[in-house]
Homo-oligomer: A and B are copies of this chain.
């Protein structure tokens, strides 16, 4: 099975990478960009249930104070 885990900043936590990418794009002349958010994705393969992957997120991949996670199966 193949799972995709996406880790993003919690609402209220400033996404500094998104912000600096935004300003970088503007410097390059992309003036129509309004907003950029950055996130991290892990593609995880193995004989794993959704519950396993949830546990991975809770135990390692996401920090509950600063990050949200979402899981989806990749077909």
A→B interface (CB under 8 Å): 6, 18, 21, 24-25, 28, 30, 32-48, 52, 55-56, 59-61
The copy count of this chain in the complex is 2
Residue of B6, B28, B36, B44 touching A59 (CB-CB under 8 A): B28
Cα separation A36 to B45 with both chains bound (whole Å): 6
Pairwise interchain contact A21-B61, C-beta atoms closer than 8 A = yes
Pairwise interchain contact B45-A35, C-beta atoms closer than 8 A = yes
CB-based nearest B residue for A38: B42
Cβ of A56 to closest chain B Cβ, rounded Å:
6
CB-based nearest B residue for A5: B36
Residues of B with C-beta under 8 A to A34 = 45-47
